[in-house]
A = this chain, B = another copy of it.
């Protein structure tokens, strides 16, 4: 999916919602356990309930990988069920030396090799340029590089600061910017520090940002928009638990849809406020 197509979908759906598919067999409704592949059955139901309200889906690869071969089968079926008008994000946090990153790129981008072709993948930048660039060689695919995350340990290294006062996450954005463009690079920026977006936007004014941490993790959608939105929206705000685990009963589909509608409506207001729609 190209940047232009993504922006079109945002305007059409009046939404920049990404639904996280961190599907945990211990948290899904009991009645699905009778299905042949409960994880896939759950995902399919969630996708059908939300696809008109969101512009991206983000399966968290760890949740599939933890079940080994069987989990990868659920992942592949989930990928096949993702609607083509949504950006598919393999939340994999991969990154290794050049020849190995090329293999990871095949795993998530090259259907002829792996059976799957996501639009994008999240990338850990620690190993530098040759760990990132192999993902940028695929047309209309995206590398979404970790910059400033929202987890408990995020500041252990990401705010390591040099003698000029520059923090590591700023150095990451400045260097990675040179390896691709706003057409194939995004950054992960956690929602839990709204004002942090001001600094991010100094380094990446035009890039899309993938923003986890709204809702269950405590981030405010309004703050994220206030400090992070740009003229093309430039945000994909993820919600996982608030939507997919809104209920673990037989009404999980309806409840997931209700929660997605709430977020879509809030996003519509923000898009209108910014004059984007």
Q: A63-B103, A115-B68, A149-B97 are in contact. Are A168 and B161 (CB under 8 A)?
A: no
A158-192 interface (Cβ within 8 A of B): 158, 160-163, 168, 171-172, 175
Q: A66-B106, A95-B124 are in contact. Are A171 and B157 (CB under 8 A)?
A: yes
- A206 interfacial contact with B, CB 8 Å: no
Complex CA gap A158/B126 in Å reads: 7
- A203 interfacial contact with B, CB 8 Å: no
Complex CA gap A256/B190 in Å reads: 47
For the complex, count residues of A whose C-beta is within 8 A of B: 60
Say which residue of B66, B124, B129 sits within 8 Å of A126 (CB atoms). Answer: B124
Q: A22-B100, A93-B95, A103-B62 are in contact. Are A171 and B161 (CB under 8 A)?
A: no
A contact set with B: CB distance below 8 Å: 22, 60, 62-63, 65-69, 71-73, 76, 91, 93-101, 103-104, 106-107, 110, 113-116, 124-132, 146, 149-158, 160-163, 168, 171-172, 175
